[in-house]
Amino acid sequence: MKPLVRIKVIGFNLDQLINKMQNSNIVCYNIERMEANVMFFSVNFKQYSKVKPLLKNYEYHIKYLGIANFKTWLVKNLAIILVIPFALGLMAFSTRFTWAIKIYGAQGELDSSVIEILRENDIAVGKILPENAQQIEQILLNELPNVAQVSCVKRGTSLIINISKKLVYTPESFEPIRAQYNGVVTNFSLISGTMAVNIGDFVSKGDILVYPFTLDKDGNQVSVNPIAEVRAKAYVVGSSKLSASSVELVRTGRQYTTSSIRFLNKNLFSKKVQKPFDIYETSVYNEYISSVIPVVRTKVTYYELGEVIVNHDLVAEQAQVEAESKHLAYENLPTNSEILDEQTTSLIVNDTLYSTTTLTISTIIS
Amino acid sequence: MLLDELDNYVTNELGVTLKEYRYINIGGKMVYVEGQKGIVNLTKDEISFKVHKKTCTIKGSDLYIKYYDNNTAVICGSVVSVVVL
């Protein structure tokens, strides 16, 4: 029951007063007529404002006796009355603490290092919210060398930190362009990077042709991916030789044959064969006996070889040796190269014919 | 509501309606009055209400009005009689 205002009225025509209150839609409780001119009644708080002018109009002697049912109402709502200020106090108290730290712009290790730095400075979830956010910005800027900009904002009980990383110069991320062949640089076209050689320089295979950086207006190196086409005059060499007399191995005609049966790669019927000849060559022949069962018959034939001394006519066979050296030179020719000159020289030294073919080419060596 | 159900029953059985005024005496401790139009007399021994051209008088001792609005009233105390004249 809601608390009621208890009123004592002294006067005449009290019945009329009650009827007036009835006409004004005022609900009365506990109306007691103690004497002919004394009456007690109660109204609730909302309607009390309607009752007051009514009582004044009739010039009754009025006495307010206090609030009826207040104790009952208090006991019933005691829990709410106690909890509301406690909850408000708790809310006010909790707003002094940090309940969330949100970090944007940092990833991986940087994220964890930011949290670590904040913790070292007594800023963490569950601890008192720092008053000065700019101080946190300064701390993070001092502690993190690879951070360019930090902004820290307090939003309620959350601490929001935005981090911008520095663009770090990493020269090792690009490799220089190196020479693929030996040669003399004839021309180049540079797109990015810095040339390490000039036209006319001799370069060996592996030498740096273009550095992976450029220089800015202050003379500082700025890392770039080197792109260039370097063309050089290069030499490709092919050489062969032929001795006046040489030892060659030829079959003597003697041969020895063994055979064995293998099932699932295991020998079933075989005998260990000693070396049949001092010098020999072999030929192996495998034959599947059945198309269903994996049985293989292996036949090994040993051919005896004999050493024969062969004499060559170096003059007569010079063209053949030169052709061989030329063939070897062309085999080593790089793709997309242009042949400028071809020269073959032959020389007989100590009964041996040496032939060398040198191709002068223009090729891209980068 | 009990009085509504009772009203329906009487209307069906007797063909008359009780909607002008109704009252019920609960064990001589409490009287519930519906359809009252105002207080005529209010003392500790007698409380009278105007009800549709008649007067409802509750007699007893230590009587007081527990609840009073523009249509209904609840009278508590030792009720001896309720008479409508």
Q: Do A33 and B64 touch (CB under 8 A)?
A: yes
**Chain B interface test: which of A2, A15, A25, A37 (most B C-beta within 10 Å):** A15
The arithmetic mean of pLDDT across residues A281-293, rounded, is: 83
Pairing of strands A28-35, A38-44: antiparallel
| Calpha distance B35→B24 (Å, rounded) | 12
Q: Which two tokens stand for residue A198?
A: 């000039």
Residue that is last in its domain, among A180, A196, A231: A231
| Calpha distance A15→A8 (Å, rounded) | 14
| Residue B75 pLDDT | 95
The answer on A24 and A63 residing in a single domain is yes
**Cβ atoms A5, A69 nearer than 8 A:** no
Cα A198 to chain centroid, rounded:
40
A168 pLDDT tier (thresholds 50, 70, 90): low
Q: Do B66 and A28 touch (CB under 8 A)?
A: no
End-to-end Cα separation, chain A, in angstroms: 98
Q: What's the DSSP call for residue A171?
A: G
**Residues A10-31 pLDDT 10s:** 888 888 888 888 888 899 999 9
The arithmetic mean of pLDDT across residues A174-200, rounded, is: 87
The shortest CB-CB distance from A31 to any of B38, B40, B65 is to B65
Q: What's the DSSP call for residue A128?
A: B
Q: Is residue A82, in this structure, part of any structural domain at all? A: no
| Calpha distance A332→A180 (Å, rounded) | 13
State how far the alpha carbon of A255 is from the alpha carbons of A148, A216, A284, A301, B45, in Å: 84, 79, 13, 7, 152
Q: Do A28 and B64 touch (CB under 8 A)?
A: no
Q: Do A33 and B69 touch (CB under 8 A)?
A: no
Residues 64-83 of B with CB under 8 A from A: 64-70
**Chain A interface test: which of B55, B65, B74 (most A C-beta within 10 Å):** B65
| Calpha distance B15→A189 (Å, rounded) | 119
State how far the alpha carbon of A131 is from the alpha carbons of A120, A136, A139, A162, B21, in Å: 17, 10, 14, 18, 72
Q: Is residue A83, in this structure, part of any structural domain at all? A: no
The arithmetic mean of pLDDT across residues A230-245, rounded, is: 87
Residue that is last in its domain, among A310, A340, A356: A310
Whether residue A331 has pLDDT greater than 80: yes
Q: Which two tokens stand for residue B72?
A: 């209904």
Under 8 Å CB-to-CB from A17, ≥6 apart: which residues? A9, A11, A39, A54, A55, A58, A60
Residues of B in contact with A46 (CB under 8 A): none
Residue that is last in its domain, among A185, A200, A231: A231
Return the higher-pLDDT residue of A271 and A35.
Answer: A35
Tell whether A38 lies on the interface with B, counting CB pairs under 8 A: no
Whether residue A220 has pLDDT greater than 80: no
Please return the burial class of A118, using the count of CB atoms within 10 Å of its CB with bins 0-12, 13-18 and 19+: buried
| Calpha distance A181→A361 (Å, rounded) | 11
Q: Which domain holds residue A115?
A: 100-165
Q: φ, ψ for residue B11 (rounded to 5)?
A: -60, -45
**Chain A interface test: which of B31, B48, B50, B70 (most A C-beta within 10 Å):** B70
Number of domains in chain A: 5
| Calpha distance A29→A6 (Å, rounded) | 9
Residue type, A365: I
The arithmetic mean of pLDDT across residues A272-289, rounded, is: 84
Q: How many Cβ pairs within 8 Å bridge chains A and B?
A: 47
Sorted by where each starts, the structural domains of chain B and their CATH numbers stand as: 21-84 (2.60.40.2000)
The arithmetic mean of pLDDT across residues A53-78, rounded, is: 79
**What is the average pLDDT value for chain A, to the nearest integer?**
84
Tell whether B62 lies on the interface with A, counting CB pairs under 8 A: no
The arithmetic mean of pLDDT across residues A195-214, rounded, is: 88
Q: Do A30 and B66 touch (CB under 8 A)?
A: yes
Q: Is residue A125, in this structure, part of any structural domain at all? A: yes
Please return the burial class of B20, using the count of CB atoms within 10 Å of its CB with bins 0-12, 13-18 and 19+: exposed
**Cβ atoms A321, A241 nearer than 8 A:** yes
The shortest CB-CB distance from B38 to any of A19, A28, A32 is to A19
Share of chain A above pLDDT 70, in %: 96
Q: Is residue A145, in this structure, part of any structural domain at all? A: yes
| Residue B32 pLDDT | 93
The answer on A328 and A290 residing in a single domain is no
| Residue B68 pLDDT | 92
Instruction: Provide ipTM, 2 decimals.
Output: 0.83
Under 8 Å CB-to-CB from A75, ≥6 apart: which residues? none
| Residue A315 pLDDT | 83
| Residue B79 pLDDT | 95
Q: Is residue A92, in this structure, part of any structural domain at all? A: no
Share of chain A above pLDDT 90, in %: 6
How far is the alpha carbon of A7 from chain B, nearest alpha carbon, in Å? Answer: 14
A243 pLDDT tier (thresholds 50, 70, 90): confident
Among the residue ranges A105-114, A227-236, A274-283, A346-355, the one predicted with the least confidence is A105-114
CB atoms within 10 A of CB A339: 13
Q: Is A350 left (phi over 0), alpha (psi -120 to 50) or beta?
A: left
The arithmetic mean of pLDDT across residues A115-122, rounded, is: 85
State how far the alpha carbon of A361 is from the alpha carbons of A109, A183, A237, in Å: 53, 9, 11
Residues of B in contact with A43 (CB under 8 A): none
The answer on A150 and A200 residing in a single domain is no
Q: φ, ψ for residue A22 (rounded to 5)?
A: -65, -40
A351 pLDDT tier (thresholds 50, 70, 90): confident
CATH number of the domain residue A150 falls in? 3.10.20.310
Whether residue A364 has pLDDT greater than 60: yes
Residues 6-35 of A with CB under 8 A from B: 14-15, 18-19, 22-23, 25, 27-34
Among the residue ranges A60-69, A149-158, A161-170, A223-232, the one predicted with the least confidence is A161-170
Q: Do A31 and B68 touch (CB under 8 A)?
A: yes
The arithmetic mean of pLDDT across residues A315-339, rounded, is: 87
**Residues B18-71 pLDDT 10s:** 778 889 999 999 999 988 999 999 999 999 999 988 999 999 999 999 999 888
Longest dimension (CA), chain A: 165
Pairing of strands A158-165, A100-104: parallel
A257 pLDDT tier (thresholds 50, 70, 90): confident
Q: Is residue A222, in this structure, part of any structural domain at all? A: yes
Residues of B in contact with A18 (CB under 8 A): 38-39, 42, 68
The answer on A211 and A175 residing in a single domain is yes
Q: Do B65 and A34 touch (CB under 8 A)?
A: no
Q: Is residue A87, in this structure, part of any structural domain at all? A: no
Among the residue ranges A50-59, A94-103, A263-272, B60-69, the one predicted with the least confidence is A263-272
How far is the alpha carbon of A15 from chain B, nearest alpha carbon, in Å? Answer: 6
A99-A101-A107 Cα angle (round to 5): 155
Return the higher-pLDDT residue of B60 and A158.
Answer: B60
The shortest CB-CB distance from A27 to any of B41, B44, B69 is to B69
The answer on A131 and A121 residing in a single domain is yes
The arithmetic mean of pLDDT across residues A265-288, rounded, is: 80
Tell whether B44 lies on the interface with A, counting CB pairs under 8 A: yes
